[in-house]
Amino acid sequence: MITIEPEKIHKALSGLRAEGYDFLRSLTGMDWGEEGLGVVYHLEKTTTGENKVIKTVTANRENPELPSVCDLWKAAEFNEREAYDFFGIHFIGHPDMRRLYLREDWVGHPFRKDYDESLNPLRMTNEEPDDVTHHYEELPDGSVIEKRDILFDEDEYIINIGPQHPATHGVLRFRVSLEGEIIKKLDVHCGYIHRGVEKMCESLTYPQTLALTDRLDYLGAHQNRHALCMCIEKAMGIEVSDRVQYIRTIMDELQRIDSHLLFFSCLCMDLGALTAFFYGFRDREKILDIFEATTGGRLIQNYNTIGGVQYDIAPDFVQKVKEFIAYLRPMLKEYHEVFTGNVIAHGRLDGVGILSREDAISFGATGGTGRASGWACDVRKRHPYAMYGKVDFKEIIRTEGDCFARYMVRMEEIMESMHIIEQLIDNIPEGLFQEKTKAIIKVPEGSYYAAVEGSRGEFGVFLESRGDKHPYRLKFRSTGLPLVSIMETVCRGAKIADLIAIGGTVDYVVPDIDR
């Protein structure tokens, strides 16, 4: 990790951006106590896969100010708002310095180590819609002023969608300014399911933190937990057995199929094809049965542990998985007959909501969304982990970047996932399913990052440890946050009805965005 002073950070980062570091993997706000508040940037060159970790810190706790990097990476836009919300760091030059998750009338910044919880009792008043925002600007003489900006004019026609709306897939809220039925501007409101997971983790022991990861993106429960376990194992130098690696890989892929089947079901339901919804759920239940036999849980399995997995696989696991794959192949064909070839589906999805490759990288929109825009962003290929380096599979890439491409990428990924499982399922080696670990797990001092390919993109874990049994700071690189941040770009100029199709194909899970 390289430390750069706040005065030089923007110049240094611009240099790196020009050098080809075009993907901001993660931007983490930090509170180092005495040392001050700061930000950790994780950068990657998409051409070569090189990584750099940069840290900057400002000692001013009263009024911390750092330059914004919005002009370099669009992904910084939401992430800096998050850092402002959690730590109160003002980013100079950021166009929209509002809170991202908490209410505007929230007092203080919860992730600071000196935060006082009693300041914020439950407020039952309705939130006022905010049509005004502000930004900080640096004058030539070095002083900083706050300026007000208008988000929505008084005579604009604004529609509110959410937080309770069946097509937002949870409690996401959009405020949409319309001209006729064309979307002129879209403002995303997050935080209706902000549960403060990262802050809670700071007071939990490492094995306890695992339980919360499952509940972030519940359609990627295995993968999320895999990432955290991998990060802690990496930090402690634990080598897990091959058997565990096999089991984890198979489980991750089953989870991916599960998630993509749900994606198919929900997208079809949003577009009005209710039959397809029942088809998808019917087949998804079969995966849940397999999960349940081994892990005891349907949706949230709590299966991975530090150094292995909770239980050995069920005796009939191998047979059940094989049966399932043999069953799903013809079913997928049926899906394509029912929905993919449908005229209405094509009418709703073709050429709608186009995301360019540059934007996908700049926003850091990984997963199926990025791959549909032609960006080879699969973590399984970029930084192979578990068994992915040893199996043969294709990274599905399309170049259209529209809704239909996003849909097709996910449907074809189901096939690839089945292909991966087939290569592994017969050769699960014998061995321990759980390495012996100490009763109290302490991670050596330092900072660590591990990432997996979740169901909807790169899920990363950034862990800073001070050698205690609690993490000092645990940040989850949400797969969903970059996906909602593209909504404004993608939806502008589209019809209001397309918002549903775009939201459906971008495929975010809201608790994962809000964390």
Partner 1 sequence: MEIKKPTIKSIPYEEFKNNEYLEEMVKQLNENGANVWMGCMDDLINWGRSNSLWPLTFATSCCGIEFMAVGAARYDFARFGFEVARASPRQADMIMVAGTITHKMAPVLKRLYDQMADPKYVIAVGGCAISGGPFKKSYHVLNGVDKILPVDVYIPGCPPRPEALLYGMMQLQRKVKLEKFFGGVNRKEDKK
Which residues make up the interface to partner 1 (CB under 8 A)? 101-103, 110, 115, 117, 120, 122-127, 163-166, 170-171, 191-197, 199-200, 203, 211-212, 215, 218-219, 262, 265, 277-278, 281-282, 284-285, 288, 298-300, 510-511
Cβ atoms of 509 and 456 closer than 8 Å: yes
Q: Name the minimum Å distance from CB 218 to partner 1.
A: 4
Compute the distance between CA of residue 221 and CA of residue 214 in angstroms, rounded to an integer.
4
Q: Name the minimum Å distance from CB 17 to partner 1.
A: 34
Cβ closer to partner 1: 3 or 203? 203
Q: Name the minimum Å distance from CB 196 to partner 1.
A: 4
Cβ closer to partner 1: 57 or 328? 328
- Count the neighbouring beta carbons within 10 Å of the beta carbon of residue 159: 12
Q: Name the minimum Å distance from CB 291 to partner 1.
A: 13
Q: Name the minimum Å distance from CB 97 to partner 1.
A: 19
Please name the residue that has the structure tokens 């022991």.
Answer: 205
Q: Name the minimum Å distance from CB 202 to partner 1.
A: 11
Cβ closer to partner 1: 218 or 433? 218
Amino acid at 388: Y
Three-class SS state of 492 = coil
Q: Name the minimum Å distance from CB 200 to partner 1.
A: 5
Cβ atoms of 456 and 379 closer than 8 Å: no
Cβ closer to partner 1: 405 or 501? 501
Cβ closer to partner 1: 281 or 311? 281
Compute the distance between CA of residue 88 and CA of residue 292 in angstroms, rounded to an integer.
43
> Residue 310 burial (CB < 10 Å; 0-12/13-18/19+)?
middle
CA dihedral 477, 483, 489, 494 (to 10 degrees): -170
Cβ closer to partner 1: 302 or 437? 302
Cβ atoms of 139 and 145 closer than 8 Å: yes
Three-class SS state of 64 = coil
414: nearest Cα among 488, 509, 336, 469:
336
Cβ closer to partner 1: 215 or 383? 215
